[in-house]
Structure 1
Amino acid sequence: MTAGQVAQDRAVRWGVVATGGIAARFTADVLEMADAEVVAVASRSDAAAKEFAGRFGIPRAYGEWAALVADEEVDVVYVATPHSAHRAAAGLALAAGKPVLCEKAFTLNAREAGELVSLARDRGLFLMEAMWMYCNPVIRRMVELVRDGAIGDIRTVQADFGLQGPFAADHRLRDPALGGGAVLDLGVYPVSFAQLLLGEPDRVQAEALLSPEGVDLNTGMLLGWDSGATALLTCSVTAGTPVTAAVTGTAGRIEVPAGFFHPERFVLHRDGAEPEEFTAASGLHGMQHEAAEVMRCLRAGEPESPLVPLDGTLAVMRTLDAVRDRIGVRFPVDA
């Protein structure tokens, strides 16, 4: 068996790092899966780890990350910390020989992302960004149709993700040291959506409203490709946007409704034809799609997922770096 590979005939045993809302959602979804277990949780606080473990019936709770990654009964580590701690938490797990699923934004910048990818590849360990959108069966069906030429050549992509706010000055979204701002927290979704369809852009432009702390509150991005395609993307922590997406080509368009990053349907408009609605039933829901892909890879001995390839994650991080460069947002780790 390869490093981190899991036998086909037993459940995959997860360890969860962090105890916040996204960790709770992931844990609840995984616990519904017949071929998975959550056997350990870690926090920087004993009390937080024990409370989370009690809430979900997890057998072991650790007040430090190092104890969880050293647990021999943990097959794979899910990193659900704020993205400012992703490099440290995922790096600790990889150094201990554990495969990792790491939340998005993957890291604070492309340099940190490259360090994690190099560490995983050097050790032959599985690593994947938790970009659940890429594993969603509706999104996968949409990509298939686009690649089969259903709307012709792509000309424009539009996507938005905005929250109403306001967020207080001491909130993590306002703190540069924690990777605050709209771009990393929300903009990662529109950028990932566009790059799923078009790859890394050849040109990046951006404008933003910045907070007194120096993070972006409202950002517009214009990405360009040598093919002639463009993407107009927005993210905000001061305005609740529709959170929709659309792809227009030379022969039609696709519209993805609110919650475009985890849709249940989309509508295909072909020139000269009635609109077609597409859904995709898989028997899974929520974050189970990404968990299932991780477990499939672990059982197959695959160090990377073809649905969420590491090179694609690195490309998205380079674009996010370029956006922050254009709008003048820098984090302490960028120095």
Structure 2
Amino acid sequence: MIKFGIIGLGKIAHKFAQDLITVDGCILQAVGSRELTKAKDFATSYKATHYYSSYEELVADPTVDIVYIATPHALHFNHTMLCLQAGKAVICEKPFAMNLKEVEIMINTAREKQLFLMEALWTRFIPSTLQVMELMDQNTIGEVHSIQANFGYLATTDPSSRLMAKELGGGSLLDIGIYPIFISMLLLGTPIETKCIAQLTTTGIDQHCAMLMKFKNGATATLESSFLSETSNTAIIFGSKGKIIMHAPFHHTEKITVEILDKKPYTMRIPYINNGYVHEIEEVRNCILSGQLQSHQMSHPHSYELIKTLDLIRSQINVTY
């Protein structure tokens, strides 16, 4: 039985916990919050055995095997290191950390301490994403020439919101832009050329980011993230024989359409289980039970290349944390 702890008890932690308690071989053992009442209520909701009013107490709990980190972006590094130093395996929400240097330290520490560490980028494990990868492997749409993907919604302008607060790692790039970038890199590899422009707020975070990437095989990706308006939230992969449409919301879609030239289009409905976090939780469980220190599907090199690309984009749009 894999015993989970959770640090940071916001909206995403509730969804994760709802799924966790349905996965065979996993239980929610302990939760931690700066507010004891919040921790107690959360623990009661998901039948956690222990609850703590500090993260330090949680990582000191000898019954916890692995900690899921769901705190704001800027705190991911510190909380991951807190767990690793305490001998706990970690699954940390995206973005893994704020920059490449932090990610390198996290990965090196996990390796030195022989602890499992994974970025919780759920898109990688969603069944429809796996189906798209399979279609690509089968050369269904031929040679891929380009990808168009966007993720945008009208976000709050409240400066204290984690989306807008620079000290919490705010901005559209790290919050939602990571998804169009990730799907492109998952299907095409690391870009060899990247050009970006953005609209920044007065506080210096991006509220809209447009990205153009070129890959080793010559393919391009046109990507966008926005807090200013609702976009189509789709990803379209164009190939020499047709295209694949990942319908909205593409990063956890349950519907993809395949359009092959001179053939009738067909749509595949591929549901995920519960809130969609079951699939990454099952991967973590399987990795830990088989003694792996990283997931083959969402490996350390994957996270390394992703944060390196995010750093490059931030350098071009002049967003620094």
Q: For 1:252 and 1:245, locate their aligned partners in 2 and report how far apart those are by CA, in whole Å.
A: 14
Alpha-carbon shift at residue 44 of structure 1 (Å): 2.2
Alignment of 1:119-130 (within 5 A): 119-130=109-120
Residue 292 (structure 2) aligned to one of 297, 302, 315: 302
Alignment coverage as a number of residue pairs: 321
> Which residue of structure 2 aligns with residue 266 of structure 1?
256
Structure 1 unaligned runs (5+)?
1-10
Alpha-carbon shift at residue 271 of structure 1 (Å): 2.0
Q: 1:257-306, CA deviations, whole angstroms, 9 ceiling, x for partnerless residues?
A: 01111111211112222212224467665100100000011111111111
> Which residue of structure 1 aligns with residue 197 of structure 2?
207
Q: For 1:245 and 1:155, locate their aligned partners in 2 and report how far apart those are by CA, in whole Å.
A: 14
Structure 2 unaligned runs (5+)?
none
Q: For 2:176 and 2:300, locate their aligned partners in 1 and report how far apart those are by CA, in whole Å.
A: 20
TM-score (norm 1): 0.92
Residue 225 (structure 1) aligned to one of 215, 223, 228: 215
Q: For 2:260 and 2:112, locate their aligned partners in 1 and report how far apart those are by CA, in whole Å.
A: 46
Change (3 A) 1:168 1:285: closer
3-state SS, counterpart of residue 243 of structure 1? coil
Alpha-carbon shift at residue 222 of structure 1 (Å): 0.6
Q: 1:106-163, CA deviations, whole angstroms, 9 ceiling, x for partnerless residues?
A: 1111111111111111222111111111011111111011122111111111111112
Letter in 1 for 2:127: P
> Which residue of structure 2 aligns with residue 242 of structure 1?
232
Q: For 2:45 and 2:207, locate their aligned partners in 1 and report how far apart those are by CA, in whole Å.
A: 34
Q: Would the aligned equivalents of 2:184 and 2:221 in 1 still touch at CA under 8 Å?
A: yes
Alpha-carbon shift at residue 320 of structure 1 (Å): 0.8
Alpha-carbon shift at residue 91 of structure 1 (Å): 1.0
3-state SS, counterpart of residue 233 of structure 1? strand
Would you say 1:99 and 2:89 are equivalent positions? Answer: yes
> Which residue of structure 2 aligns with residue 193 of structure 1?
183
TM-score (norm 2): 0.96
3-state SS, counterpart of residue 194 of structure 2? strand
3-state SS, counterpart of residue 174 of structure 1? coil
The sequence identity of aligned pairs, in percent, is 35
Alpha-carbon shift at residue 319 of structure 1 (Å): 0.9
Residue 23 (structure 2) aligned to one of 19, 26, 33: 33
Change (3 A) 1:225 1:283: closer
> Which residue of structure 1 aligns with residue 139 of structure 2?
149
